[in-house]
Amino acid sequence: MKTIFLLFDSLNRKALGAYGSSMPTPNFDRLQQKSILFSNHYAGSMPCIPARRDMQTGRYNFFHSSWGPMEPYDNSLPRILREEKGVYSHIATDHAHYFEDGGTNYCTNFNTWEFHRGQEYDPWIPVVNPDMEELQGKYDRRHYDFQKGARSSHKLQFAKNKLYRMKEKSDFPMTRCFDSALRFLDINRNADNWFLHLECFDPHEPFDIPQEYIDRYDLDRNAILNWPNYARPVESPEEIDYIRRTYMALVSFCDDQLGRLLDYMDKENMWEDTALIMTTDHGFLLSEHDWWAKVVMPNYQEVSHLPLMMYHPDFKEMAGQRRNYTTSTIDLMPTVLDWYGCNIPSEVQGRSLVPVMKEDSSAERVVCCGVFGGTALITNGRYAYHLCPKYLDSTNLYEYRHHPCHMRGQFSIEEMKDTTLHKGFDFTKGMPIMKIKGRDDSKRVPNHDEQRFQDSETRLFDLLNDPNEQNAIRNPQVEQLLQHRFRSIMEYHDAPPEMIERFAL
């Protein structure tokens, strides 16, 4: 058994031709024609690293903690593959968050790993005294103010990386990720029993593209405007259109790189013995609902409703078919374990999708999506219920951790002073665990960038008649049903009582 797990970051479902985009994505379309496409696939924990913990462990992260490392009691997909079936796992990625405090223990669960530098604010190129006037002149201050704002130093670091090391298409981290994947396949083409995790940070912001795509989409501009703030748009309609086209140009870059992988699989006839999963962690609002980005606002469909394509040699006669069954990121881990004949641990709450690959299911299933401490989306694919908790601050909010790390940096001494020892949960395998009181000044997402949850009120949308969530409805019967199902999901995850109480369930 051989598997390629291809994970993009912030890849919008509606950006792909297979999901209705009018923009050309010929290689994603090629993959869809080979694969089974899932029409109702949803994010789980948000954003980047919490989503990856869901994917490695098969359970939702956001009931017990915010962004943070893999914990000692966590079931890890690559580790189980190795320990149960001797599967060799390798990750090739440019995702710099893995190499911050909050990304600890993810890559090291693989046999081997490669990290390609330069995405976002990766602390890579050491320039002590850059020419600030010259550098600022290349970037629009509304997206890149190098001297003011919570993210000024990050945006300056990106500009340094770009100036000194990313000039040609071959220099871009995504190109180098696919180079690594193809090298792995060259070396191991005739080997069996491996799992390749190919993870690209694109098309995450900033929407940085090689000159070829700037020319293709007519995106020349005096000052770079490609890193929207997590806020309401302040740009003109023409500038918003420009930013959206820049995002689509980056998706085209992703599409071209995917084409390299598909060409290799065609040439080597890998479709006979190799499975392929293509998906993402979450989407990105491109001014829909009068918002840029994600996290601080409700998890609208643009953010939560994701692309998922799966190919497996045993189901190649299903090529081009669609599945309408509602699925979640927590299903990916047990599905891969099932492919390899591994036991699925009792702590896993996701479901293997092998039965659904064989035949679609009309059974109703409710899944959820959320950010620790913020609103939750509860959906059955027909209705989207955005449930706002009673509090959006740290009132009655606790983190349960063994590794108390935020995205960047460890928990502060002040955060740890009131820590108590909790007996543990049904997934901690008998281990007690730290119970840490949440604080409004902590560096958890989205507080870490001086942000707060906004636009947060409980709303219900009918996705059949209003797929873009433009007009909230009232249906007490549906709301009560989804609240009940959400409580059941939380109880199955052994969520702490105060988290259930936050949502008034």
How far apart are the C-alpha atoms of 27 and 24, rounded to whole Å? 9
Please say whether the beta carbons of 70 and 79 come within 8 A.
no
What confidence score (pLDDT) does residue 100 get? 97
Q: For 310-326, give the DSSP string.
A: EE-GGGGGGTT-EEEEE
Domains of the chain: 2-358 (3.40.720.10), 372-469+485-502 (no CATH)
pLDDT digits (tens, 9 = 90+) for 8-57: 999 999 999 999 999 999 999 999 999 999 999 999 999 999 999 999 99
How far from each other are the two terminal CA atoms of the chain, in whole angstroms? Answer: 44
Taking residues 149-168, what's their average pLDDT?
91
**Alpha-carbon torsion, ordered 431, 436, 442, 446, to 10 deg:** 60
pLDDT digits (tens, 9 = 90+) for 278-330: 999 999 999 999 999 999 999 999 999 999 999 999 999 999 999 999 999 99
What percent of the chain lies above the pLDDT cut of 90?
96
DSSP 8-state class, residue 45: B
Confidence bin at 166 (pLDDT 50/70/90)? confident
**pLDDT above 90 for 456:** no
Q: Which of 78, 292, 328, 61 is nearest to 194 (CA)?
A: 78
**pLDDT above 80 for 448:** no
Give the CA distances from residue 493 to residues 70, 350, 487, in Å, rounded to whole numbers and listed in that order.
17, 10, 10
Confidence bin at 92 (pLDDT 50/70/90)? very high
Contacts with 317 (C-beta within 8 Å, 6 or more apart), sequence order: none
Element at 170 (helix H, strand E): none
**Alpha-carbon torsion, ordered 106, 280, 92, 82, to 10 deg:** 50
**pLDDT above 90 for 449:** no
pLDDT digits (tens, 9 = 90+) for 240-261: 999 999 999 999 999 999 999 9
Q: Look up residue 70 and give its amino acid.
A: M
Mean pLDDT of the chain: 97
Taking residues 115-128, what's their average pLDDT?
96
Confidence bin at 489 (pLDDT 50/70/90)? very high
How far apart are the C-alpha atoms of 233 and 225, rounded to whole Å? 13
**pLDDT above 80 for 145:** yes
Task: Work out the number of other CB atoms within 10 angstroms of the CB of residue 69.
Answer: 21
Distance, C-alpha 52 to centroid of its chain: 7
Bond into 206 cis (ω within 30): yes
